[in-house]
């Protein structure tokens, strides 16, 4: 096992797995049986704590989680039918609640781009909550003053929210409520504006 190194160094999940591997190596040997019980109890405690932290499924609750997930999808499907029936004459209204393309795709978390001076870019779209976190960095090598402005708009490339001013070379970490008291079912488009006449800039936007 390499002494205590596997338990004290490395990624958290690898260290937890090392405890389980230690138990398996002890096996059915009766001499360290008491130690094996303590190792197993330690592994179960660590595994449960890690699952609670990350939202993962433990060995004993996979079936329950799958059943609950299926029930949730049944309700989602039923809600879709209710909204389609209610807005029969205006079919675009339910679209904001069920964006099939977004829901069926792997969500991209990080967005980068190189923007020209005084450029407006529709960078991304995502349904978010007010306390969801994001970060944004702006890097321009120009000697002039270069800033960027962020918006959380209701349309692609729109600017109908509170602006957030980003300074060059200063990372901004924030939450989406900074954009104002918005209807987040429709305000889900990130728009970036570069405030410079000539200087290009590299940007990075990341959801958390």
Task: Summarize pLDDT for 119-178 with one digit per residue, the tens.
Answer: 899 999 988 889 899 999 999 875 558 899 999 999 999 999 999 999 999 999 999 999
Does one domain contain both 25 and 81? no
pTM of the entire structure? 0.52
Does one domain contain both 92 and 150? no
Does one domain contain both 69 and 123? no
Overall number of domains in the chain: 3
Q: What is the extent of the structural domain holding 171?
A: 109-207
pLDDT at 1 over 60: no
Does one domain contain both 75 and 128? no
Cα Rg of the chain (Å, integer): 25
Residue with more model confidence, 186 or 36: 186
78-95, pLDDT tens digit by residue? 777 777 787 778 777 666
Does one domain contain both 83 and 157? no
Element (H, E) at 175: strand 172-175
**Mean pLDDT across the chain, nearest whole number?**
80
Q: Is residue 193 assigned to a domain? A: yes
Q: What is the mean pLDDT of residues 38-45?
A: 80
Does one domain contain both 76 and 123? no
Q: Which of 89, 86, 12 lies closest to 51, judged by CA?
A: 12
Does one domain contain both 75 and 143? no
Q: Which of 174, 201, 167, 169 lies closest to 190, judged by CA?
A: 174
Q: Is residue 104 assigned to a domain? A: no
């Amino acid at each position: 096992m390499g002494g205590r190194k596997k338990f004290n160094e490395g990624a958290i999940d690898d260290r937890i797995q090392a405890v389980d591997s230690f138990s398996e190596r002890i096996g059915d040997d009766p001499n360290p049986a008491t130690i094996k019980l303590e190792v197993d109890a330690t592994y179960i405690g660590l595994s449960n704590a890690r699952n609670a932290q990350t939202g993962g499924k433990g060995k004993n609750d996979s079936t329950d989680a799958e059943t609950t997930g299926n029930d949730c999808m049944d309700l989602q499907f039923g809600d879709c039918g209710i909204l389609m029936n209610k807005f029969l004459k205006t079919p675009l209204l339910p679209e904001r609640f069920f964006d099939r393309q977004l829901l069926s795709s792997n969500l991209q978390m990080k967005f980068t781009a190189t923007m020209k001076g005084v450029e407006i870019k529709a960078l991304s779209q995502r349904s978010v909550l007010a306390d969801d976190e994001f970060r944004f960095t702006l890097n321009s090598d120009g000697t002039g003053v270069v800033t960027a402005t962020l918006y959380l708009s209701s349309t692609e490339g729109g600017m109908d929210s509170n602006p957030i001013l980003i300074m060059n070379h200063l990372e901004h970490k924030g939450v989406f409520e900074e954009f104002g008291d918005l209807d987040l079912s429709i305000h889900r488009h990130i728009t970036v504006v570069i405030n410079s006449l000539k200087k290009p800039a590299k940007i990075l936007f990341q959801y958390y």
